[in-house]
Amino acid sequence: MKSSKATDKEWTFLETVARAAFANPFGETRDDLDIAISGAAPDSSADEILHAVVTRIEVKLQSLRDRGVADLRNLDGHRREVMRRVCLFHVFHRYVDHFDELIKTQLKEGDKHCRVPFARHVLGELTAFGIGDQDAVRMFAVFYQLRRAFYFIKNGLVGTSPSMKTLRRHLWDCVFTHDIRWFEAGLWDKMEEFSILLLGETGTGKGAAAAAIGRSGFIPFDVARNAFTESFTRNFVSINLSQYSEGVLESELFGHKKGAFTGAVDNHEGLFSRCAPHGVIFLDEIGDVSIPVQIKLLQVLQERIFFPVGSHEARRFSGRIVAATNRSLDEMLESGKFRDDLYYRLCSDVITLPPLRVRLKEDPQELDNLLGVLLSRLAGEMPGREKHLVKRILKRDLGRHYAWPGNVRELEQAIKRIILTGRYQGMKREEPKQDAAARLAQEIVEGAMNAEELLSAYCSSLYASFGTYEEVARRTRLDRRTVKKYVEMGKVSPSLDGRGTLFGNCSIQTGRCLES
């Protein structure tokens, strides 16, 4: 007999929880839903709000279970789906600490399979709510994936600036899509079809972003072995394409057959052969590879097959590709140095990582946060005075407006040099004659620009900061071709004071994706 004993007010609460269950944890929507569920004050800490959320849901669910409403076998349609999400949310958060410990244990054990002692408890709780055995096993694997994604995105890409918050939300969507209902309904084992292209200056953290995606892939759970079928440490493999000659690179990527060339005394398994099912290969410096290698990479992406050097036997690749470059792909595409068809196979999504100078401009507290994290990674927990000492030396030696051309990687090395020598001189580069943003602001105040010139200057300024037409289009809500037109206009139009282009001398990294 079907039961519907919950009140309208209770169903409203459950629907709010169901929306939170599928919301991006790095997004503002999830923050608002958590406050609504918990009833906590908006200025409460994140831990306090989450504790209140979990407690309140547990109390509500227990009341509903006592009345038979929380049993999915007694519900159908929309209400069954709402209750299912609430049950999943509840069980997942009951075992968050267990998943965190499993992640840390797996990091220590490396490629070794780790047993999951709490698995049967989770599966038992899921089936008690009326979730089928097979569905429960799959959702247990999704739980582990959700927690890994949160763990590696949160800890691998720190920062409180708006651009870093946007980056973390973006990475989460790359793992679970922008609407996790699509992922949960059928894309959970098809994400290898979605290749990702990471753009950004040297040292911005493209490797960390790739690792966060790579370690967050779906890994099935084997009930008989009481373990996941693969270690997430083995699920992510990377290669810097710029460090190999063309012949050696093909062997490293695709492997080779014994006798394929002088020195090939044994068969060699390449990177694509070693990649686990649902795994991720990170191709760093994709802009440095030759056209022949690009053609072979295109074949892998299009047909999902490759051939070891010296072999006619096709091998299948079932993993996901994440690629990165600090080069201007727009320029390489226009000059024919990078194939358009390969680009369009790579850019299911294009993510531009923000340079450190942009992050510091957006949030002055960003430097303090980064210093704390980097010092902790380097030397463990240290008293706050060490962080303040490093910050004081940086301010003394570099001034307040240092551009950090090496980005976060340079900041990390600066900390090490300060620890060793007590000083850091930085990269000495010629300063621009006039700050472009300040000049633009002055011209706006003076009314010296018409609407078209203003839009051109604004688009050019954003392009100089973020490096891609796509990001400028997103921020201005213009289409990509319109943005490109105004940026190109800014490059050739003389500034009002007659000293050349307003933004023409900016050093930028660019990217391109499908045009509307």
Q: What is the pLDDT of residues 205-246, one digit of tens each?
A: 999 999 999 999 999 999 999 999 999 999 999 999 999 988
Regarding the domain delimited by 151-354, which CATH topology (the fold level of the hierarchy) does it fall under? Answer: Rossmann fold (3.40.50)
Predicted confidence band at 4 (pLDDT cuts at 50, 70, 90)? Answer: low
Predicted confidence band at 506 (pLDDT cuts at 50, 70, 90)? Answer: very low
Report the alpha-carbon distance of residue 214 to residue 235 in Å, rounded. 7
Average the pLDDT over 305-317 and give the result.
91
Both structure tokens of 67: 């009345």
Give the residue carrying structure tokens 């999704």: 142
Both structure tokens of 7: 């009140």
Predicted confidence band at 439 (pLDDT cuts at 50, 70, 90)? Answer: low
Q: What is the pLDDT, as a whole number, of residue 428?
A: 67
Position 495 pLDDT exceeds 60? no
Question: Where would I find the beta strands (DSSP E) of 45-122?
Answer: none
Average the pLDDT over 2-26 and give the result.
88
Report the alpha-carbon distance of residue 43 to residue 49 in Å, rounded. 9
Both structure tokens of 281: 């290969």
Alpha helix ranges (H) inside 112-200 = 119-128, 133-156, 162-176, 180-185
pTM for this model (two decimals): 0.81
Beta bridge partners of 282: 238, 322
Both structure tokens of 54: 């979990």
Contact by Cβ (8 Å): 149, 344 = no
**Which amino acid would we find at residue 187?**
L
Residue among 67, 97, 91 at smallest CA distance from 5: 67
Position 429 pLDDT exceeds 80? no
What region, left, alpha or beta, does residue 241 occupy, with left being phi > 0 and alpha being psi -120 to 50 degrees?
Answer: alpha
Going from the C-alpha of 219 to that of each of 29, 89, 134, 144, 453, the distances in angstroms are 28, 20, 15, 8, 52
Q: Which residue has the higher pLDDT, 427 or 384?
A: 427
Alpha-carbon Rg of the chain, whole angstroms?
Answer: 26
